[in-house]
Amino acid sequence: MIEINNISKWYGSFQVLSDCTTSVKKGEVVVVCGPSGSGKSTLIKCVNALEPFQKGDIIVDGISVTDPKTNLSKLRARIGMVFQNFELFPHMRITDNLTLAQIKVLGRSREEAAARGLKMLERVGLKEQAHKFPGQLSGGQQQRVAIARALAMDPIAMLFDEPTSALDPEMINEVLDVMVELAKEGMTMMCVTHEMGFARKVAHRVIFMDQGRIVEDDTKDEFFGKPRSERAQQFLSKILHH
Amino acid sequence: MIGDLDFEVIGRSLPYLLRGLQYTVQLTVVAALGGTFFGTLLAMARLSSFRPVSLTAAGYVNLMRSVPLLLVIFWFYFLAPVIVQSVMGWERPPQIGAERSAYITFIMFEAAYFCEIMRAGIQSISKGQVGAAFALGLNYWQAMKLVILPQAFRNMLPVLLTQTIVLFQDVSLVSLLNVTDFVGASVKIAQRDSRVVEMYAFVAVVYFILCYSLSTLVKQLQRRIAIIH
Ligand SMILES: Nc1ncnc2c1ncn2[C@@H]1O[C@H](COP(=O)(O)OP(=O)(O)O)[C@@H](O)[C@H]1O
Ligand SMILES: [Mg+2]
């Protein structure tokens, strides 16, 4: 479903990503972890071409993101993305947040979009909040709305960039629960997260990044059994002790 | 001389003065709306990553902002028609007329100022918002129109209105083109009836009342926006 082939990216002379290669199969859940600044966000943003890269290629569902003939808007519309800071549109009600792209990008009618949006909102348990503005919701609720907004587009895969790291501890689980359920339903997911409980529960594979490189790309059992690299071992022991 | 004031002159010429005020308000509103529209386009151009576009926009804005308004008014009124004539090879310069010339001048001049306000507004929106808009499949124009500009506009509304109050005062300069705006009308009455003191006092009071109440309104608006944030 997602094939990342030897991509490298530079900011000026600083290399953020060095020759990264991996893939995510249909229905697979891949967790990406690693120290801050290791390039996790950059890598995941390359998948839907939010970040350009200079070398290599990424193929999503058979379509190359570097091909100039690729319609990037269309491609992005098929990949859901959830951000660390939610990024709901604060000037719009929840309903409009949910329907905007359905109407403008997918060309759905207002009624169809509203029905689909409401269904997704119900799924994340927030149907009563439909007429509020994002600022009136808690962080955990906002992030669940953001997930619903992405799901309303009927994505073929979902990307998560540290979806719980801006949340108060008591709100983390309500978001993880939604993600676990999504994973169990067979959604293809690439998640940057340090929630190792989540990884143990639903991940098929774990990728460990350090200094722009994919240092470790293991099945879940291999990774939690005994990661081969020393950096990954150190990292794991650090976050598991917290 | 002061002992011999006659404020009756105001009442006698009120319809004429009100027509002048109406023109002033019209020109202000049109220039503010047009200036906001073109200023927003200019701001987007200035923020473009395509250098020829951003440099052209920056050049225009900096030029307008470094030339005195009065000079720009004269430029558009006296020189622009002659330039258009020679460029188009026409026999006579186009007859635009002072009133229409004033509309064009003020829209183009204010666009430079509104551009800088909208540019700050656009830059006040986090990159994450842009990313979220793109990630949903919106293109550049949709992201701008539906996500970025509404927020930028809302954040900048007090500043835009403050600039409009300045504009409202600046509009009085068109009286130098012999246009009958509020000031122009008052000057004409003052000279015709030799009631300079009365008329100039009246104009000052009206400007003060209008501008002061508008800026009080802006302050209230600012407080409301601060609470929402
Ligand atoms: N726009 C940018 N310009 C320059 N350097 C950047 C930019 N964005 C990110 N970086 C750098 O790239 C590196 C990787 O960033 P990021 O992908 O956000 O890491 P992570 O998500 O793993 O914390 C960091 O060192 C960061 O400072
Ligand atoms: Mg990150």
Instruction: Determine whether the interchain pair A91/B129 forms a contact, defined as Cβ–Cβ distance below 8 Å.
Output: no
Cβ atoms of A190 and A157 within 8 Å: the answer is yes
Residue A78: pLDDT over 90: yes
Amino acid A241: pLDDT: 65
**Does A223 have pLDDT greater than 60?**
yes
Token couple for B131: 């990313």
- Mean pLDDT of all residues in chain A? 93
- Match 């094939």 to its residue by tokens: A3
Q: What share of chain A has pLDDT > 90, as a percent?
A: 90
Per-residue pLDDT reduced to its tens digit, A42-71: 999 999 999 999 999 999 999 999 999 999
| Banded pLDDT at B97 (limits 50, 70, 90) | confident
Q: List pLDDT tens digits, range B165-192.
A: 999 999 999 988 888 999 999 999 888 8
Tokens of A62: 């058979």
Confidence of residue A229 (pLDDT cuts 50, 70, 90): confident
Closest listed residue to residue B215, CA positions, set B168, B150, B148: B168
| The two structure tokens encoding residue B89 | 């090879």
Sign of the dihedral defined by the CA atoms of residues A187, A190, A193, A199, in that order: positive
- Is pLDDT of A189 > 90? yes
Residues within 5 Å of ion ligand 2, judged at the Cβ atom: A 41
Domains of chain B by residue range: 2-228
- Residue B118 Cα, gap to closest chain A Cα (Å): 17
Q: Residue B228: its pLDDT value, please?
A: 62
Which residues, in sequence order, are CB contacts of B17 under 8 Å at separation 6+?
B10, B182, B185, B186, B189
Sheet holding A205-210, edge to edge: A79-82, A157-161, A189-192, A29-33, A205-210, A213-219
Find the DSSP H helices in A185-229. 196-202, 220-225
Bridge partners (DSSP) of residue A30 are A190, A205
Q: Report the 10 Å Cβ neighbour count for B88.
A: 10
Residue B193's pLDDT is 85
Q: With a cut of 90, say whether residue B138 has pLDDT above it.
A: yes
Fold classified for B2-228? MetI-like fold (1.10.3720)
Per-residue pLDDT, A154: 95
Cα of A14 to nearest chain B Cα, Å: 21
Q: Is the pLDDT of residue B227 over 70?
A: no
Averaged pLDDT, A109-118: 96
Average pLDDT over residues B59-80: 91
Give the model's pLDDT for residue A30.
96
Which chain A positions have a beta carbon within 8 Å of B150's beta carbon? Answer: 91
